[in-house]
Amino acid sequence: MGDYALLYILFAPFFGALALIFVSNRQTLLVRGIAAGSAFISLIASLYLFYTYDPVLGGYQFVQRFEWSRQLGIALYLGVDGIGTPLVLASSILLFAGIFVSWHIKDRAKEFYIWILILAAATIGVFMSLDLFFLYFFYEMSVIPMYLLLGMWGSHTKKYLEMTDPEGMKQRDSVGFIFNFGSNSKEYAAMKLVLFLSAFAVAAFMGILLIYKYSGLNTFDILVLREHASTLMHIPVLGTTLDKIIWVLIFFGFASIAPLWPLHSWSPVGHAAAPAATSMLHAGVLMKLGHFSIIRVAFEILPETTRELMPMAAVLCMFSIVYGGFVAYYAKDTKYVIGYSSSSHMGYVFLGMAALDYISLSGAVIYMFAHAMATGMLFSMAGWVYDQTHTRDIPSLGGLSNKMPFISACFVVGCMASIGMPGTINFIAEVMIIVGSWNKYPLQVVVAVLGIVLTMAYLFKMMRSLFYGPMDQKYSHAYDAVAFVDRLPLLIMISVSIGFGLFPMHLYNVVRSGVDPLIAKITHVVPVAAAPALDAPAPALHEQLAARGVQLPDSRAAQ
């Protein structure tokens, strides 16, 4: 596998999706086998990547570069550092688990697996990309599968069902119904997701184009831009400077998918409508694209601006933690509870990022990995309960532990991981975020600790209502996960969460190897000299760069 590990991880799902196109939907076992096989190749390669990544050497490893357009400075440039490596592993784990969570799907199973594989491959592509063009390309690619998975295989909420007539045909397919913001239909959830993510992605793309234009380097190469671009961005514009405008576009453009309050409202609706495997990937890795892209673009390329403006994230993260937690407490739909819980927990990641501390940022990256496992467990089990009872209405359920002892036991573990109990990797990540952020943001840390108490309240409330107390006899037909394919995904995620919780050092060392040089650059930025004039011709611009000691690659200087 060696140096080509990234290519195996990225393209195995793509080739699996391509192979499924030529298979009939009637060949159910072959469809499942191809999907599981391609996901397994990606998982094995990800494990190899994670355990052979050298944290002592650090930097970007397993690098592959394929020139795409020399004139435009675009290349398929792949590589992982200590921040990207665990997120690639999380994506591969959730893809493999999601294939088995969806093992019994009957409605157009081939098409479902095709879009799940493409969705996972797109998220993996973001975590690997060292070229801004392809980072954005993979980022946008993830939106298309989400729209189709929600719109075709999603489910309506109870509120939607109450609004339809007994035949369920009340304006079902009209444009007016899709845009009815009170309907909570799966069509509405898919449309809202696309509109939110596409609109804010345009803002992020504007920031990327401004970096490309005014860096004067004629490249989307992140490694080149991080060394030289920030010296060219301090241009007065509208009472501020260009670097701040770019930073705001990048931050809020990507923060929408994170999702940061008040840009979050598409996410819980999407969780509620999505099938279980889609919710797992949505909460586990899709939401992390925002944090990762901010780190990769804003932190890497504009470190000084990040140090100045990141405190706004420390303010907004408090609203994410508190608002998401309270809505989750009062929600009566299982997926809404887990969905708003995920939005709340993403506030912890932003807090760790905002503190700009070695410990806090390392904790934020580890928390992204930990949250993927914990939320993956909860969404997969919420999907199982829905498949058995055909309802997500928490007050109408209860006593299911008598029928589902394995699922109820796994649900307890999932709740413990989400709360951050000792013995799970979530506990280590939360402690690091809290300790690393205390000196700079004590108020936010107090809010974060209260948020943990609130998390315990709504998860215990949901667990009690679902699995304990009297059971309605109309659910007596429900059964437990007994088959190996049904238990395997839960056992994988539980093993990863507890395994890294007990033996976290390799994960910690890998993450620190990516975080340490980034924080050192942000907290010890050399003041920037005055920027060259925007109307300076290209040769003059390169002369000014050379005068400052900025050495460009020969190909870039020639351009």
pLDDT above 80 for 346: yes
Query: What whole-number distance in Å separates Cα of residue 153 and Cα of residue 156?
Result: 10
Is the pLDDT assigned to residue 521 strictly greater than 90? no
Compute the mean pLDDT over every residue in the chain, rounded to the nearest whole number. Answer: 81
Cα–chain center distance at 516 = 22
- 115-144 pLDDT per residue, tens: 999 999 999 999 999 999 999 999 888 888
Same domain assignment for residues 394 and 272: yes
Top mean-pLDDT range of 2-6, 150-154, 279-283, 498-502: 498-502
Claim to verify: residue 558 and residue 433 sit in the same structural domain: no
Tell me whether residue 207 is in a domain. Answer: yes
Question: How would you class 163 by CB atoms within 10 Å of its CB: exposed for 0-12, middle for 13-18, buried for 19 or more?
Answer: middle
Cβ count near 421 (within 10 Å): 14
Residue 193 lies in a domain: yes
236 C-beta neighbours (distance < 10 Å), count: 9
Shared domain for 285 and 360, answered yes or no, is yes
pLDDT band at 238 (very low <50, low <70, confident <90, very high): low
pLDDT at 92: 93
For the ranges 44-53, 242-251, 461-470, 541-550, the one whose mean pLDDT is highest: 44-53
pLDDT in tens, 379-437: 888 888 888 888 777 888 878 888 888 988 898 899 999 888 898 999 999 999 999 88
- 239 or 386: which leads in pLDDT: 386
Range with top average pLDDT, 236-240, 523-527, 541-545 = 236-240
DSSP symbol at 390? S
Residue 265: closest CA among 182, 192, 317, 334: 192
Q: Give me the pLDDT at residue 157, please.
A: 60
User: Can you tell me the distance from the alpha carbon of 239 to that of 7, in angstroms, rounded to the nearest whole number?
Assistant: 46
Q: Are 285 and 277 in contact (CB under 8 A)?
A: no
Specify the pLDDT at position 362.
Answer: 92
Is the predicted pLDDT of residue 237 greater than 70, yes or no?
Answer: no
pLDDT in tens, 307-321: 888 888 888 888 888
| Residue 176 maps to a domain | no
Query: Confidence class of residue 522 from pLDDT cuts 50, 70 and 90?
Result: confident
pLDDT above 70 covers what percent of the chain? 85
Task: For residues 402 and 542, state if they share a domain.
Answer: no
Q: Could you tell me if 353 and 208 lie in one domain? A: yes
* 509 in the same domain as 436: yes
- One domain for residues 360 and 375: yes
Structural domain for 541, as ranges:
533-559
Owner of token pair 């990234």:
6
pLDDT of residue 43: 93
State the sign of the Cα–Cα–Cα–Cα dihedral 550, 554, 557, 559: negative
Interval 177-223: pLDDT, tens: 444 444 556 667 777 777 888 888 888 899 898 888 887 788 888 88
pLDDT value, residue 229: 63
Nearest to 157 by CA among 380, 337, 287, 283: 337
482 located within any domain: yes
The verdict on residue 306 lying in a domain is yes
How crowded is the C-beta side of 161, counted as CA atoms within 13 Å?
9
One domain for residues 401 and 546? no
Are 399 and 257 within one domain? Answer: yes
473-505 pLDDT, tens digit per residue, is: 777 787 887 888 888 989 999 999 999 999 999
pLDDT of residue 95: 92
Question: Side-chain half-sphere of 319: how many Cα atoms within 13 Å?
Answer: 11
Same domain, 283 and 378: yes
Token pair, residue 311, equals 């405190």
The band of 552, judged by pLDDT with boundaries at 50, 70 and 90, is: very low
Output the CA torsion 407→410→414→415 (10° steps): 80
Q: What is residue 231's predicted lDDT score, i.e. its pLDDT? A: 60
| Residue 173 counted as domain residue | no
Average pLDDT rounded to a whole number, residues 527-550 = 42
Q: Do both 354 and 465 map to the same domain?
A: yes
Query: Is 64 domain-assigned?
Result: yes
| pTM assigned to the model | 0.84
How many domains is the chain built from?
Answer: 2
pLDDT interval class at 533 (50, 70, 90): very low
Q: Is residue 166 part of a domain?
A: no
DSSP state of 400: G
Q: Does residue 551 share a domain with residue 459?
A: no
